[in-house]
Amino acid sequence: MSDPAAEVVKTTETYYDSDEADRFYFHVWGGEDIHIGLYDDGDSIRDASAKTVTRMVDRLHGWSDETRVLDLGAGYGGSARALVKRFGCHVTCLNLSQTQNRRNREMSADQGLSDRIEVVHGNFEELPFDDGQYDVVWSQDAFLHSGRRETVLKEARRVLKTGGNMVFTDPMQADDCPDGVLGPVLARIHLSSMASFGFYREAAGRVGLDVVGIDDLTPMLPRHYAAVRSELKSRYDEMVGISGQVYVDRMIEGLGHWIEAGEAGHLAWGIVHLRAV
Ligand SMILES: C[S@@+](CC[C@H](N)C(=O)[O-])C[C@H]1O[C@@H](n2cnc3c(N)ncnc32)[C@H](O)[C@@H]1O
């Protein structure tokens, strides 16, 4: 019998490995990051995306060149490079997409950071690492793709040193999201639900992680997707040339569903900070 959560991992891997998705994320999102940004008026997607990294960094203390970070679902590795440039720390990028991993290795080498960034192909539901290796487990906008989110937290706790920090963002559903309103949003991720702040609070306690704090930054979710859609529309012909009309039209429609659900108060987004106990 097929395992639905394993099927989602396969579908997600195929999606992020595809040429259309790779070219889209690489060209529209700025080539380094694929995550929701923190916008002030006039910010580009790239500037806003960088601010999210800074805000996450600022939640943690004691960064140094000895800090060992594991980035789960690291995409093209933009956050890893930002952390290494700022602190000289060591970052392991664990990611499902070999296409992204290749670009991550290339960009890290081009920027002279290969000795500090290790890129590992894998699934964050089954981490290929020993217990108690990391000071920080980091992740941005990746856990939405998992059908086993509590397992992901459990794995993160396992590889963290006791006292180590987990800091992540994730597009979620609102704690009070009514049933049945997220159909078109969920269709895009092939899952029947998203996490919520409430889910992470409760699941963290069950796997040995204390909640240090939660930054609810929900208004940034529709704002970010609106910025991406607007960029895509303004560069429509170029993007059709890069990723094909079917992909681009589907993306514009899909972003519309996320913007609508976000503006209706059905979605949530923010920074979750946990500590291994
Ligand atoms: C929206 S992108 C975010 C990428 C990156 N964190 C960033 O902020 O730029 C989601 C990422 O999650 C990764 N991903 C999804 N499911 C995964 C899994 N089960 N294990 C590891 N990585 C996964 C995808 O390959 C993709 O890189």
Residue 97: CB within 6 Å of ligand 1? yes
Low-confidence residues of the chain: pLDDT under 70:
1, 29-30
Whole-number percent of the chain with pLDDT over 90: 79
Rg, the chain, Cα only: 18
pLDDT for the residue numbered 190: 83
Closest ligand 1 atom, CA of 152?
Answer: 19
Query: Looking at the DSSP assignment, which residues form a beta bridge with residue 46?
Result: none
Token representation of residue 95 = 């990611």
In degrees to the nearest 10, what's the CA dihedral of 124, 36, 61, 123?
10
Count Cβ neighbours within 10 Å for each residue of 224-263 and write b for 16 or more, e otherwise. Answer: bbbbbbebbeeeeeebeebbeeebbeebeebbebbbbbbe
User: What is the 75 CA–ligand 1 centroid distance (Å)?
Assistant: 5
pLDDT for the residue numbered 88: 98
Closest among 40, 110, 25, 27 to 74, alpha carbons compared: 25
Residue nearest to atom 4 of ligand 1 (CA): 75
272, 218 contact by CB (below 8 A): no
pLDDT for the residue numbered 17: 85
Residue 140: CB within 6 Å of ligand 1? yes
Residue 99: CB within 6 Å of ligand 1? no
User: What is the 132 CA–ligand 1 centroid distance (Å)?
Assistant: 22
Residue 171: CB within 6 Å of ligand 1? no
Q: Which structural domains are found in the chain, ordered by start?
A: 4-276 (3.40.50.150)
pLDDT for the residue numbered 31: 73
Task: Name, in order, each residue with C-beta under 8 angstroms of 1's C-beta and a sequence gap of 6 or more.
Answer: none
Q: What pTM did the predictor assign?
A: 0.95
Closest ligand 1 atom, CA of 140?
Answer: 6
Residue 148: CB within 6 Å of ligand 1? no
pLDDT for the residue numbered 30: 65
Closest ligand 1 atom, CA of 9?
Answer: 19
**The amino acid at 153:** L
Q: How far apart (Å, rounded) are the C-alpha atoms in residues 232 and 246?
A: 13
Q: How far apart (Å, rounded) are the C-alpha atoms in residues 248 and 33?
A: 19
Kindly report the backbone phi and psi dihedral angles of residue 92, in degrees, each rounded to the nearest multiple of 5, phi listed first: -100, 120
Inter-CA distances, 207 with 95, 102, 123, 143, 251, Å? 22, 33, 19, 16, 36
User: What is the 235 CA–ligand 1 centroid distance (Å)?
Assistant: 25
pLDDT for the residue numbered 29: 66
